[in-house]
């Protein structure tokens, strides 16, 4: 590394510190320290790995792991505040699914079971890539992007100076709008990861009749019914206390300086890639292309969206809504090393739904459906059989695997 490049890196670190500090106050100072440290870390890494080489590696991973490439028939649902929500439908393929039973003359064929997948915070519908590949053609599915995520529009209620904070209850109403548009009749199986599971709980709290009348089964993956303010994220007590105290202010500052922050995110991509991997996966041998895919999903979420959604989680408490799912086939699944929604939160859900199947996946992190797709798909397939959504003889295993991401 030349003296010139070293000097440029140090200058970049100093510039980043000054720019980020202008975000204001204690939050700005914290951001400046992070930016400076990240820039210094990138400068150090350039001793052994050039930026061009890292960029080529990312492009190679993107090319060899076409995750998120599966698409369905698109549609748009309109939320109660006018937000346009993007969804995609994949129907049953008669050549893949078991033959239908003969219909008696004059009787209308019953509406098929529809499996509705809701994704987590800072992700999108493509986070269900492996499960989507595995179930393709076997059962009718709906995948949707939550407001301000993926292909959905920014939340109308959050726009402008008069914007109101996002709430989990709003997300529950958004899910109702998607169901009304994409699956207006017939049985439903609801599947939600992290924020998506909370969205399902909010749906149950506000529309219990819908759950009782139409929901045939539910799966809560790596999620929580409340008390997220107590999560330590794998940090020591002192560190957690600092994070809880300054993070809301930091995020507000970041959200108000979105353009500046997005430039900073690009400059410190290597640092954020490490953080994403730590809080997404537990396995040391996770497929690098899958890790890169998760990186792309999270990086694509604008920082002001990250900021406007975060407060909703500290207020989230839907324990009282869970009994509406009692008596249904329910799967509660989590990775045993999930640092975002620890297994104790899944156990608390299972305690409120004592007939639910509780599955803790060994060596699994928060994005367990990407890290251990076979384990998650296997349990989902069993749930669909129990709900009568697919016949017991259906062979799910041949559709989709980590080895063949687009199959």
Q: What is the pLDDT of residues 16-38, one digit of tens each?
A: 434 433 433 334 434 333 333 44
Q: Which residue has the higher pLDDT, 5 or 193?
A: 193
pTM for the whole thing? 0.80
The residue-averaged pLDDT of 242-256 equals 62
- For 174-200, the pLDDT digits (tens) are 999 999 999 999 999 999 999 999 999
Question: Is residue 232 scored above 90 in pLDDT?
Answer: no
Whole-number Å distance between alpha carbons of 318 and 102:
43
Whole-number Å distance between alpha carbons of 381 and 304:
37
Closest CA to 219 of 193, 188, 187: 193
Q: Are 394 and 98 in contact (CB under 8 A)?
A: yes
Strands 84-90 and 73-78: antiparallel
* Other Cβ atoms within 10 Å of 97 Cβ, number: 17
pLDDT given at position 111? 77
Helices (H), ranges, 46-122: 51-64
In sequence order, what are the beta bridge partners of 76?
Answer: 86
Which of these ranges, 61-65, 135-139, 220-224, 227-231, has the smallest mean pLDDT? 61-65
The mean pLDDT of the chain is: 80
Would you report the helix, strand and coil content of the chain in percent, each value rounded to 5? 50, 10, 35
Q: Are 325 and 223 in contact (CB under 8 A)?
A: no
Cα dihedral: 144, 371, 302, 151 (round 10): -20
pLDDT given at position 390? 85
Where residue 244 falls among pLDDT bands split at 50, 70, 90?
Answer: low
pLDDT given at position 333? 98
- For 104-163, the pLDDT digits (tens) are 445 555 678 999 999 999 999 999 999 999 999 999 999 999 999 999 999 999 988 888
pLDDT given at position 8? 43
- Percentage of the chain lying above the pLDDT 70 cut: 68
Question: Is residue 253 scored above 80 in pLDDT?
Answer: no
Question: Is residue 329 scored above 80 in pLDDT?
Answer: yes
pLDDT given at position 47? 41
Question: Is residue 4 scored above 90 in pLDDT?
Answer: no
- For 359-401, the pLDDT digits (tens) are 999 999 999 999 999 999 999 999 999 999 888 766 665 444 4
Question: Is residue 274 scored above 90 in pLDDT?
Answer: no
pLDDT given at position 98? 54
Helices (H), ranges, 107-194: 129-135, 168-182
Whole-number Å distance between alpha carbons of 356 and 325:
10
Helix (H, G, I), strand (E, B) or coil at 15: helix
Q: Are 125 and 143 in contact (CB under 8 A)?
A: yes
Where residue 5 falls among pLDDT bands split at 50, 70, 90?
Answer: very low
């Amino acid at each position: 590394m030349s003296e010139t490049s070293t000097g440029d890196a140090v200058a970049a670190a100093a510039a980043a510190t000054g720019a980020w500090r202008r975000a204001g106050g204690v939050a700005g100072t914290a951001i400046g320290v992070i930016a400076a440290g990240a820039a210094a870390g990138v400068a150090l890494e350039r001793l052994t790995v050039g930026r061009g080489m890292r960029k080529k590696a990312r492009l190679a991973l993107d090319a060899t792991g076409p995750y998120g490439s599966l698409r369905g028939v698109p549609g748009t649902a309109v939320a109660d505040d006018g937000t346009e929500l993007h969804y995609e439908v994949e129907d049953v393929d008669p050549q893949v699914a078991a033959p239908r039973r003969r219909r008696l003359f004059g009787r209308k064929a019953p509406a098929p079971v529809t499996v509705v997948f809701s994704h987590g915070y800072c992700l999108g519908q493509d986070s269900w890539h492996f499960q989507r590949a595995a179930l393709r053609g076997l059962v009718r599915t709906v995948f949707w992007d939550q407001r301000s995520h993926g292909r959905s529009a920014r939340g109308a209620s959050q726009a402008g100076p008069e914007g109101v904070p996002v709430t989990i209850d709003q997300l529950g109403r958004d899910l109702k709008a998607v169901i009304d548009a994409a699956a207006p009749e017939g049985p439903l199986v609801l599947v939600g990861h992290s924020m998506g599971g909370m969205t399902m709980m909010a749906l149950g709290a506000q529309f219990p009749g819908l759950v009782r009348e139409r929901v045939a089964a539910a799966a809560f993956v790596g999620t929580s019914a409340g008390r997220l303010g107590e999560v330590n994220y794998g940090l020591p007590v002192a560190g957690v206390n600092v994070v809880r105290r300054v993070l809301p202010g930091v995020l507000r500052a970041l959200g108000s300086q979105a353009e500046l922050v997005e430039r900073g995110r690009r400059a410190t991509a290597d640092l954020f890639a490490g953080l994403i991997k730590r809080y997404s996966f537990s396995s040391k041998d996770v497929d690098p292309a899958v890790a890169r895919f998760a990186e792309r999903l999270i990086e694509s979420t604008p920082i002001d969206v990250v900021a406007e959604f975060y407060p909703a989680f500290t207020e989230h408490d839907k324990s009282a809504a869970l009994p509406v799912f009692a008596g249904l086939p329910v799967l509660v699944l989590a990775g045993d090393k999930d640092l975002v929604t620890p297994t104790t939160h899944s156990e608390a859900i299972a305690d409120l739904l004592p007939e639910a199947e509780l599955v803790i996946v060994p060596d699994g992190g928060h994005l367990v459906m990407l890290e251990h797709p076979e384990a998650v798909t296997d349990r989902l397939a069993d749930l669909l059989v129990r709900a009568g959504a697919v016949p017991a003889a259906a062979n799910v295993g041949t559709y989709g695997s980590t080895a063949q991401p687009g199959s």
